[in-house]
């Protein structure tokens, strides 16, 4: 049975539970999904500072999982190591650093959604939190998806606020998706955010182009991630690390 580790880079247990439910349902019974929650940081990633801390928290969660600490503190046998890792945040904090230190394939909700949406042509992003606009633009550029990105449409409420009031969120996001199609000429729209898992299906009838659920895109990626990742050129990193947890320090050995 394939094993997928989902890392929630924020400290919200409710987001972890949502990720676990939706990724497991999409992945099916032949994939064992395990979701872990960041041990420190913000309950919701909404700006550059919380994003930077979440990148550290992502690496820490991966290191803790490798060390067998996880969320339960029980020993994890080598046979239980994951076959792939999914960063459960639309913004993928720590993606490149984790990919560099991981022996298994790694992606995040945003990268997986970019890949899926690009199959339909130029795509737009709809998500909560106005500060995410330039952050996601930078990520798309870094991952090579800028040519396919028609634009980013952010709504004022954060993802956490949208998830807290689903009825109001559906109305607001449905209009934002239609605006993205009309104003940006998008051939697909990504509804981005772990807290918005499952909402794209409800909004699809009112939108004329495919809506991509970023959480489902992440699960679909996990089902396709059979190829081994590029091998690191050497063991360890260039300099020793100091004053970090013993688990994360071990990544540099």
Domains and CATH numbers, the chain: 2-108+221-252 (3.40.50.12500), 110-214 (3.40.50.12500)
- pLDDT higher than threshold 80 for residue 15: yes
pTM of the model: 0.91
For position 79, what pLDDT does the model report? 55
pLDDT of residue 1: 85
Is residue 50 over pLDDT 70? yes
pLDDT band at 247 (very low <50, low <70, confident <90, very high): confident
| HEC letters along the chain | CEEEEEEECCCCHHHHHHHHHHHHHHHCCCEEEEEEECCCCCCCCCCHHHHHHHHHHHHHHHHHHHHCCCCCCCCCCHHHCCCEEEECCCCCCCHHHHHHHCCCCEEEHHHHHHHHHHCCCCEEEEEECCCHHHHHHHHHHHCCCHHHEEEEEEECCCHHHHHHCHHHHHHHHHHHHHHHHHHHCCCEEEEECHHHCCHHHHHHHHCCCCEEEHHHHHHHHHHHCCCCCCCCCCCCCCCCCCCCCHHHHHHHC
State mean pLDDT over 109-127.
97
pLDDT at 71: 46
Q: What's the pLDDT tens digit per position in 143-196?
A: 999 999 999 999 988 877 888 888 898 999 999 999 999 999 999 999 999 999
The total of other beta-carbon atoms located within 10 Å of residue 126's CB is: 31
For the segment 65-85, the average pLDDT, to the nearest whole number, is 66
């Amino acid at each position: 049975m394939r094993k997928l580790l989902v890392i929630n880079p924020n400290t919200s247990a409710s987001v972890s539970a949502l990720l676990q439910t939706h990724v497991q349902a999409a992945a099916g019974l032949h994939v064992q999904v395990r979701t872990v929650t960041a041990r420190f940081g913000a309950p919701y990633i909404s700006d550059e500072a919380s994003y930077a801390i979440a990148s550290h928290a992502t690496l820490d969660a991966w290191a803790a999982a490798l060390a067998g600490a996880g969320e339960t503190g029980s020993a994890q046998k080598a046979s239980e190591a994951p076959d792939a890792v999914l960063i459960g945040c639309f913004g993928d904090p720590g993606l490149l650093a984790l990919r560099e230190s991981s022996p298994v394939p790694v992606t995040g909700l945003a990268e997986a959604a970019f890949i899926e949406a690009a199959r339909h042509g130029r795509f737009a992003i709809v998500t909560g939190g106005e500060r995410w606009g330039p952050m996601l633009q930078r990520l798309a550029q870094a991952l090579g998806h800028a040519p396919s990105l028609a634009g980013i449409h952010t709504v004022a409420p954060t993802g956490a606020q949208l998830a807290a009031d689903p009825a109001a969120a559906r109305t607001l996001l449905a209009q934002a998706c239609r605006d993205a199609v009309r104003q940006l000429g998008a051939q697909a729209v990504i509804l981005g955010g772990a807290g918005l898992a499952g909402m794209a299906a409800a909004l699809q009838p009112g939108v004329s182009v495919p809506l991509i659920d970023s959480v489902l895109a992440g699960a679909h990626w996990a089902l396709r991630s059979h190829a081994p990742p590029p091998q690191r050129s050497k063991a360890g990193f260039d300099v020793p690390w100091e004053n970090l947890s013993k688990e994360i320090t071990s990544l540099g050995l």
